[in-house]
Amino acid sequence: MTTPTRPVWSGLWEQPGEWVRDAVCAEVGMPDVWFPTADKDTFSIQIAKRICRRCPVRDQCRDYALRHEAGYQRYGVYGGMSPAERRKYADRLESS
C-alpha cells in the first residue's frame, strides 16, 4: 500500500476528468449548499458533506480541489471536506 502524497498543482488549469460524470452533486442541484455565502454556514456545509459521503468520486474530487487551491476551489465543499478540513488534510499529507 502506498502512502498518499499531497496533490500538487502543475501550474496549468486542468479540466476535471471523466469522474465528474459520476458526481452526485451534479444530480442533486442545490449549489448553494456547496458554496455557502459565509464560511461558518455550518448547516449548508453539513448538508453538502452528507451528500458527498455517498459520492463514488469523492477522492478524485478532493484531490482535484487540492491541486487547484490557488483558484476558486479554495472555497466551498469538495470531496466531502470544507476548506479548513482540506487544508488540515493536506498538511497531514505533507508531514507524513
How many other β-carbons are positioned within 10 Å of the β-carbon of residue 46? 13
Side chain identity at 69, as an amino acid letter? E
> Which three three-digit cell numbers place residue 42?
455550518
Largest CA distance in the chain: 39
Q: Interacting stretch for ligand SF4, rule CB under 6 A, among 6-14, 22-30, 38-46, 86-94?
A: 22-30
63 or 93, CB closer to ligand SF4? 63
Under rule CB under 6 A, residue 68 binds ligand SF4: no
Assess 23 for contact with ligand SF4 (CB under 6 A): yes
**Per-residue interface string for the shown chain with ligand SF4, residues 25-64, x marking contact by CB under 6 A:** x--------x----------------xx--x-xx--x---
